[in-house]
A and B are shown apart, each in its own frame.
Chain A
Amino acid sequence: MAIKTIPASRGPAKTSGRDRAERKLAFRMTAPSLVIMALVAAVPIGYAIWLSLNQYSVRTAGLSRFVGLENYINALASQEWWAAFGQTFLFAGLSVSLELVLGTAMALLLNLAFKGRAVLRTVVLLPYAIITVVSAITWQTMFQPNMGLVTNVLSALGLPGGDVVWLGEHGYAMAVIVMADVWKTTPFAALIILAGLQVISAETYEAAELDGASKWQTFVNITLPLLRPAIVLAAIFRTMDALRVFDLPFVLTRGANGTESMSMLAYTQLRENRLVGEGSALSILTFLTVMVVSVIYVRFAGGNIRDVAKEEQ
């Protein structure tokens, strides 16, 4: 380890010397991680941009022709891209809002003191441990026609939906994909929101109680505003994840019935159709979309969070 070679002579007596040693050490300690991330993130993205400007196919290996922005123009003019774009945002909007509402409710529940809270916390956390592919398979088995739990129970109760081929129709397939995501990742949102909930001071509630506020009033006027930073943070993490969605539609529908996400479309062009240039252009477009959304989030929610921070101080 090269780090060990830092001269031990820089004694504690000279503070400025220690400062310099510290900065040097800090640089050496962070450099390996930064170099790995730069090599494996920045270089490939640069290469992806280059590939996206070329007509390049694995079928005709080695043959590549510079075509400028043609791949992007084709992608942006195609129905497939906008369909995938719309589906991804529909999925993200539905699943993230459900996860935030359910997550907040779960967090409030986990914050209550009652016998069995530890059990509840463990149970709630279990879906987090399941890998996404397995979660997709689990939900697939539940919605199988004739043999699935949900379809059987719906039929037995005489409710509609029992004889629906859930994964064979756009709206229903989307619903199953959203449910599978909500099931697996609500615990994550709940834990972030719970952490935010636990810092709201007891005095705040006592003051509200003295003022004669009802439980609902307390929740709307005190808990929710103070919880906003935690909820926004959960929303950011979950939205970024949802916009990159791949595993769930891949396993549940293989992208059929209009459930293809942006990442899936790029993957299909790249791996199945062997169109490296087009696939790269689509992956760069996906990347840009996620970037733009994260910048918008930080602009709006970031200021939001700072305001709340000021109020609390």
Chain B
Amino acid sequence: MSTLIAERPTAELTTGRKAPKRRLRGESKLHPLVWVFVVAVMAFSLIPFYWLVNTSLKKGASLSQGELFPSQPTLENYLVVFQNPEFLLALRNSVIIAVVTTTVALVFASFAAYALARLKMRRKAMILTLILSVTTFPAIAIAAPMFSIWREIGLYDTLLGLIIPKLTFALPLAIYTLTSFFKEIPRELEESAYMDGATPFVAFRKVILPLAVPGLATTAILVFISVWNEFLLAVTLTTSPEARPVPVAIAFFSGTSEFDQPLGTISAASVIITVPLVILVLVCQKRIVSGMTAGAVKG
């Protein structure tokens, strides 16, 4: 699989930044049909968000009749969520898991990615293939044995017991994305560091790493989102609220003790954890795009 990606003809060119100017020529006026398509795409992307927020603001009859606009909007669902100790625990767990996994993955991955991008190395292609093949593992293949191993050694239903397997999937993602960022840094910079008597590692730490900060930030965002999102390992390897991260907590959310559908509170909880990620995407839109295309396309 690595050969496939390494040999992609688009490899050197797809930074996504240097789009040829030509396409701007004479196309400021779009065909009306194209505008229809633009609007349709926007609607398709946004309407579900609207409905989620709408549902989260409704209670009782307003909820069960499915009003298109809440006639009596209420923040009650949000209060219920914030008073739910299990949700707050889940939030804490998710933050700890995502921050620790992202940090550790970034440290190890930056070493590995630098070696793979820049240094002379034996069996580089084989190592890249191995790393990529980890990303194709179905999480259930790891989750099933981990379930048994963790139960025996006491890591089952703990945060550490989730961080370790999540790291396995975060590492290849980080290594692939970072490798492509390191490749973009001009080689002359290291050469001049060598001239000044630096060892390769010093050149990496003092010259390359500071220049790679934007790439590191991009990778951190992508890894953070994917760790935060991960569900199967989280649901298999936890059982109590003390270790459950947000996605599992939401999937098992029972809402209030009321008889009506807990959809209102579930929606409120969903909105609460979506807002930070949406802000992240709005602020770091360019970074996310370059990271997604770099990691995937350039390998």
Contacts and interface: CB of A to CB of B under 8 A. Distances in A.
Contacts of B27: 112-114
A122 B145 CA distance: 40
Contacts of B240: none
Interface in B120-173: 120-122, 127, 130-131, 134-149, 151, 164-165, 167-168, 171-172
Contacts of A101: none
Contact of A283 (B22, B28, B141, B270): B141
A73 to B, nearest CB: 18
A224 to B, nearest CB: 15
Given A23-B120, A244-B139, A298-B1, A195 B297 contact: yes
Contacts, number: 363
Contacts of B10: 195-196, 199, 229-230
- Which of A48, A113, A195, A198 gathers most chain B CB within 10 Å? A195
A286 B273 CA distance: 31
A298 B5 CA distance: 10
Interface residues of A, number: 121
B165 A40 contact: yes
B165 A47 contact: no
Give the contact-size bracket for chain B. Answer: 35 or more
Interface string B205-243: 000000000000000000001001101100110000000
A125 interface: yes
Interface of A: 3-4, 6, 8, 10-12, 18-19, 21-23, 25-30, 32-34, 36-37, 40-41, 44-45, 47-48, 51, 56, 58, 105-106, 109, 111-116, 120-135, 137-142, 144, 146-149, 151-152, 183, 188, 191-192, 194-196, 198-199, 201-202, 205-206, 229-230, 233-234, 236-237, 240, 243-244, 246-247, 250-251, 262-263, 266-267, 270-271, 276, 279-280, 283-284, 286-287, 290-291, 294, 298, 301-302, 305-306, 308-309, 312-313
19 contacts: A19-B120, A32-B111, A45-B137, A113-B28, A116-B38, A120-B38, A123-B45, A126-B46, A134-B274, A141-B52, A192-B292, A195-B16, A195-B296, A198-B13, A237-B296, A266-B140, A270-B236, A276-B147, A286-B141
